[in-house]
Structure 1
Amino acid sequence: MKKIMTSAVFAASFLVSLSAVAAGNAESGKLLTEKYNCASCHGKDFNSPIDPSYPKLAGQHQDYLQHALVAYRRGNDGMNGRTNAIMSGQAKALTDKDIQDIAAYLHGLPGSLVLEK
């Protein structure tokens, strides 16, 4: 019984620490969006892209942003990658932590996305 409790405590601690890492660091994300000049296409507020076909990023769901950046990083590898040449080129240099940080920053910005009920 003691062994089971120890394992359960360890597992819970691991999950808590994992969720903290997955949360990302918004301040680092802000610096990364400046470094990669994301606003040049997605707008200075990340809510007014220069082309209507470019997505609004401000306020977007964090997990969606992470998934999209990972898919762009994969590119056309046949594994659910995205093939936009500009975004794939930008995302290739990003680490998993960079992606988490960027997603945390963009998610925290006020946006005009409309969520359906």
Structure 2
Amino acid sequence: MRSTRPKAVQLLLSSLAALSLLAACGNVCVAGDVKAGRAKALMCQACHGLDGLSKVPDAPNIAGQPEPYLVAQMQAFKSGARKNDAMSVVAPSLSDADIEDLSAYFSAIEISVGKLPGG
């Protein structure tokens, strides 16, 4: 069944739900294994890269995102609450441990901001 809500509204609602989960659980919500996540991330590299930086226009950069946020988003894809063609194929095959490990790995990637334009 196709939703009548615009994509922007759906994304906003998903993001708000994830942020409220993040605020509710703080830093004690997840405990994924970074090393196991790196091994599992090979399946993510075509879109997100091993560095967590988008390789295709529709994939977000996920490097350095908070671990609970990444867990919440992948669980939303797995449950079908959040929709994306690629993630709808990948997410259902992920166990809860896979989701935690992938989230731990991508959140552990250190990112930095270089010189901002116009500055």
Normalising by structure 1, report the TM-score: 0.66
Percent identical residues: 34
CA-based RMSD of the aligned residues comes to 2.0
Shift of 1:45: 1.6
The residue aligned with 1:95 is 95
Q: Which has the larger radius of gyration?
A: 1
Q: Which of these residues, 36, 42, 48, is aligned with residue 42 of structure 1?
A: 48
Unaligned residue ranges in structure 1 (runs of 5+)? 1-18, 76-80
| Pair 91,59 (structure 1): closer, same or farther in 2 beyond 3 Å | same
CA distance in 1, matches of 2:59, 2:29: 29
Q: Deviations over 1:59-108 (max 9, x none)?
A: 01101100000000011xxxxx1111210210101111111111001000
The residue aligned with 2:9 is none
| Letter of the 1:32 counterpart | K
Unaligned residue ranges in structure 2 (runs of 5+)? 1-26, 114-119
Normalising by structure 2, report the TM-score: 0.65
| Letter of the 2:63 counterpart | A
Q: How many residues align?
A: 87
Q: Which portions of structure 1, spanning 4 or more consecutive aligned residues, are displaced by more than 6 angstroms?
A: none
